[in-house]
């Protein structure tokens, strides 16, 4: 019974990590990212301002991706462990 309780706790924890990773990721992707810089060439008297060609992720979105990845890896590990137990029983 203790093993079953441990397994249930692991699955619930994994589910919470996956869901929290998804929520943080969505919040991070919906948050506008400000990125400002420019380059000035004094001899050419020209200023370069980068356009919209690029993907800029906020720190919140990166944390969301990390949480989601950890949760999915844990789910894959638990599924593999469960599958191997069924084969041995």
pTM: 0.72
Alpha-carbon span 17 to 71, nearest angstrom: 5
pLDDT tens, 31-60? 887 766 655 666 766 665 666 566 678 899
The 10 Å CB-count burial string (b at 16+, else e) for 29-41 is eeeeeeeeeeeee
Angle at alpha carbon of residue 11, lines to 6 and 15, rounded to 5°: 145
Higher pLDDT, 31 or 15: 15
Confidence (pLDDT) at 40: 60
């Amino acid at each position: 019974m203790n093993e079953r309780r441990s397994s249930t706790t692991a699955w619930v924890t994994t589910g919470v990590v996956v869901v929290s990773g998804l929520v943080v990721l969505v919040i991070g992707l919906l948050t506008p990212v400000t990125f400002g810089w420019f380059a000035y060439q004094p001899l050419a008297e020209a200023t370069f301002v980068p356009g919209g060609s690029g993907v800029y992720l906020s720190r919140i979105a990166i944390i969301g991706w990390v949480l989601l990845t950890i949760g999915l890896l844990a789910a894959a590990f638990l599924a593999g462990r469960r599958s191997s137990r069924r084969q041995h029983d």
